[in-house]
Amino acid sequence: MWHVSPSGRLDRLTVFKHVGGGYVPAGEMTFEGSEFLRPGAFQYDQSYLETPGATPLDPLGLPVVSQVFPGVPEAPLALLDAGPEGWGRSVLAMAFEGSVLGAAEFLAAGTTDRTGDLAFGASGEGGPGHWRPDGSQSSGISNQCDDLEALMLAAIAADESDATADQLGMLVRACADVGGARPKVRWRDREGEGIAKFPTWGDKFDDPRIEAVCLDVAESAGLPVPQRRLETFSGRTALLVRRFDRSEDGKPYAYLSMGTLLQEPASSYGTTRTYTDMAAAARAIGIEAPEEQMFRRLLVNAFLHNTDDHLRNHAVINTGEGWELSPVFDVVPYLERKRHVCAPGPGFSPECDPQVAFASHIAFGLAEEQAEAIRDDVVAAVRRLPEFFDRRDVSKADQELLRGLGQQ
């Protein structure tokens, strides 16, 4: 049974980590008080501490030692990476209107299909669980709808605050534990697991289609990107992206955002952290020579005017062979925003300008010749924008709106 306080809040969660062929108890989260934001703390289980080769949930913030780790403020950031963000939280809030939902409740509401290799349950003996504010309980394994058109229509209705109870129930099963602010759901087919990304009411262009184009550019520029395809349902575009935190046979990989590695609160959007800080954090957890790839990502974002490059839109994964930078994701032009969230490096302006971005190669420790070669790759990829627009059937109106992309 879940541990519920007299005020109706969850006050204890068992944290599980996927090890080998299944989930094992890694530690316990406890929460105090009845306020909306409750201070929490995490501590590793003794059994996990004694496991040979036990790996930390966060190599920088949660080393495998016997001590109490305070939340930020409710839970350590590594745990929040396994929970919902804006979209998933809004779905849960609509589905369980009137319930008080904080970090404990948001984490417990997800399933083992959540991002990364963590899960949550009521006890170590019971395994990962699936908590609901209405008192319903089930295992931590999801039972979601596989009708993508129905899910898209439900997501659009929820985005417009017009979803039915049935639609919200469908979405709770499909996206109560996904990250990001835009409408999306988990999905799977015979080839594996993915995320389906949908349009939202405020889009100025066909956002899913343009994101596919931007990923095409990033791939052509030499960056790792997930497999993807576009589908159309009821006249709306969906971008179907293969999950990179799962193996081909569904094994979950560890996942951490750069926000977690750099200890930026999950509620924080703006930051003084930079792309060079992200490279330093990657190097600190054993990633070899991350500076070249972070600089390449910076240039791609600058040329594509992706200024939504906050710390949780950059991540690392561990497939079992050590940490590596994750494939690129959430790359979309934001024409009205003139500044990157993260500046290139100390002393460099966050202005979205490819020339400013290129000048920062010094801060990355890259020789000018190496930086020029990277820029040449990116420029060559950006020049293929008309080809990618046509390949992805981008409308003439959207092409005209985005005609300034790629200019130096």
pLDDT of residue 138: 52
pLDDT of residue 7: 82
- Identify how many contiguous H helices and E strands the chain contains and give both numbers: 14, 15
pLDDT of residue 220: 98
Question: pLDDT-derived band of residue 405, with 50, 70 and 90 as boundaries?
Answer: confident
pLDDT of residue 134: 74
pLDDT of residue 142: 52
What single-letter DSSP state applies at residue 173?
Answer: H
φ, ψ of residue 29 to 5 degrees: the values are -105, 135
Q: Which strand (E) or helix (H) includes residue 13?
A: strand 10-19
Is the four-CA dihedral 51, 56, 59, 65 of positive or negative sign?
negative
Stronger pLDDT, 157 or 21, i.e. the higher one: 157
Angstrom distance (rounded) from CA 296 to CA 254: 24
pLDDT of residue 192: 85
Q: Looking at the predicted structure, is the pLDDT value of residue 137 above 70?
A: no
Of the candidates 279, 408, 248, 255, the one whose C-alpha atom is nearest the C-alpha of residue 342 is: 279
Ranges assigned E (strand) in 123-183: 129-131, 137-139
Angstrom distance (rounded) from CA 342 to CA 311: 8
What single-letter DSSP state applies at residue 57?
Answer: S
**Stretch 201-223: mean pLDDT:** 97
Of the candidates 321, 334, 65, the one whose C-alpha atom is nearest the C-alpha of residue 181 is: 334
List the single range of 4-13, 223-232, 307-316 with lowest mean pLDDT: 4-13
What single-letter DSSP state applies at residue 138?
Answer: E
Residue with tokens 């504010």: 133
**Stretch 83-101: mean pLDDT:** 94
List the single range of 214-223, 282-291, 333-342, 367-376 with lowest mean pLDDT: 333-342
Q: Both tokens of residue 5?
A: 């306080």
Mean per-residue pLDDT of the chain: 94
For residue 202, what are the CA distances in angstroms to 26, 159, 183, 198, 361? 41, 10, 12, 12, 36
The pLDDT tens digits of the residues spanning 242-281 come to 999 999 989 999 999 999 999 998 787 889 999 999 999 9
Stronger pLDDT, 35 or 169, i.e. the higher one: 169
Q: What's the predicted TM-score (pTM) here?
A: 0.95
- Helical segments of 11-85, H only: 46-49, 77-80
Decide if 145 contacts 170 (C-beta within 8 A).
yes
Question: pLDDT-derived band of residue 404, with 50, 70 and 90 as boundaries?
Answer: confident
> Strand, helix or coil at 316?
strand
**Stretch 388-402: mean pLDDT:** 97
Stronger pLDDT, 5 or 80, i.e. the higher one: 80
pLDDT of residue 391: 97
Q: Looking at the predicted structure, is the pLDDT value of residue 212 above 90?
A: yes
Q: Using omega within 30 degrees of 0 as the cis cutoff, is the peptide bond preceding 73 cis?
A: yes
Angstrom distance (rounded) from CA 195 to CA 145: 13
pLDDT of residue 145: 67
Angstrom distance (rounded) from CA 273 to CA 364: 14
Q: Degrees (nearest 5) of the Cα angle 157, 161, 167?
A: 45
pLDDT of residue 188: 87
Helix, strand, coil % in the chain, rounded to nearest 5: 30, 20, 50
Separation of first and last alpha carbons in the chain:
59
